[in-house]
Amino acid sequence: MRLEGRTALVTGATSNIGRAIAEAFAAEGAHVVVSGRSAERGREVVDGIRVRGGRADFVRADLDGSAAASRALAQEATRVLGGRIDVLVNNAGIYPGDTTTATDEKTFDLVYAVNVKAPFFLTAAVAPAMVEAGGGAIINLGSWIARLGIPVGALYSSTKGAVETLTRAWAAEFGPQGVRVNAISPGVVLPPTQGEERPSAIMMKGTPAGRMGTPDAIAHAAVYLAGDESSFVHGIVLDVDGGRTTAAVIAA
């Protein structure tokens, strides 16, 4: 129960990494707001948490990058959580796996709106209240392809580079006021499947782990960054990527 008595808002929490983080936070005692666009999937996540004895509520949000949408989510989540948000996880994002020449301006603007503007204005809405309450923790989701280039996804990787830069800037801005800001950089992470070969698994060949990761690995890291064990940790990007960006292995 490392997060007992705390409240948390997790964006993009209706599937994959966001869902795993919300479930892990609740299992550690936090009251969690599960946020996303799909009310049906949101209810499924909340019901699963409650069946296991956890506390969770769903707040629908379409984080389109507007400051108004981010502020509205912050206000409603604060209300549902009883007046405060102790932990914010900026997880929501979209990934169009296109090449640069295949990306149009509308897509460019949309991806930056969802992946950069939305967490920017959500943090701007939540962090001051954390300061006033005496502290808090903000966790951003980066990506391994922000630092290791691949031939598709330049647009997405650039947004995650921006998020990792914001992590360091926010640590400097809000850390002295009691709000710790850190990021997690996942490798190739997908929910486990029985007997199904995932095409993206090739991206993890030749790494120390030698396999794709699962969402719970990222959730464990998020619990650490949200809890007291990381009280002296500010402004880091924690690589949870099976060694993809840190070690070169010659595959047999």
pLDDT at residue number 209: 86
Catalytic residue selected from 95, 112, 156, 224:
156
CA 125/CA 250 separation, integer angstroms: 46
What tens digit of pLDDT does each residue of 125-162 get? 999 999 999 999 999 999 999 998 888 999 999 999 99
Residue 60 has pLDDT above 70, yes or no: yes
Rounded average pLDDT over 204-222: 91
DSSP 85-153: -SEEEE---------STT--HHHHHHHHIIIIIHHHHHHHHHHHHHHHHT-EEEEEE--GGGTS--SS-
Is residue 156 annotated as a catalytic residue, yes or no?
yes
Instruction: State the average pLDDT over residues 152-173.
Output: 97
Packed helices 154-174 and 105-112: angle between N→C axes, nearest 10 degrees: 30
Q: Is the pLDDT of residue 109 over 60?
A: yes
The two three-digit tokens of residue 204, written as one number: 């993890």
Residue 67 scores a pLDDT above 60 = yes
Domain annotation covers residue 1: no
- Give the model's confidence band at 83: pLDDT under 50 very low, under 70 low, under 90 confident, else very high: very high
The answer to the question of residue 74 being in a domain is yes
**Sign of the CA dihedral running 9, 153, 224, 46:** positive
Number of domains making up the chain: 1
If one counts every other C-beta atom within 10 angstroms of the C-beta of residue 61, the result is 24
Asked whether residue 191 carries a pLDDT value surpassing 90, the answer given is no
E strand or H helix that includes residue 204? none
pLDDT level of residue 70 (50, 70, 90 thresholds): very high
pLDDT > 80? residue 63 = yes
Mean pLDDT of all residues in the chain?
94
Asked whether residue 63 is assigned to any structural domain, the reply reads: yes
Answer positive or negative: Cα dihedral of 88, 95, 39, 15.
negative
> Range of 19's domain?
7-240
- Which pLDDT band, with edges at 50, 70 and 90, does 25 fall under? very high
Mean pLDDT of 192-211: 77
Say if 105 falls within a structural domain. yes
Return the DSSP state at 213: B
Instruction: Using the CB atoms, write b or e for 40-56: b if 16+ within 10 Å.
Output: ebbebbbebbeeeebbb
The domain spanning residue 26 has which CATH number? 3.40.50.720
Q: Does the residue 229 lie in any domain?
A: yes
Is residue 246 in a domain? no
Q: Say how many Å lie between the first and final Cα of the chain, rounded.
A: 43
Domain membership of residue 83 (yes or no) is yes
**Total-model pTM:** 0.95
Tell me the chain's radius of gyration from C-alpha atoms. Answer: 17
**Range of weakest confidence among 54-58, 73-77, 111-115, 188-192:** 188-192
Residue 207 belongs to a domain: yes
The predicted model gives 229-246 an average pLDDT of 95
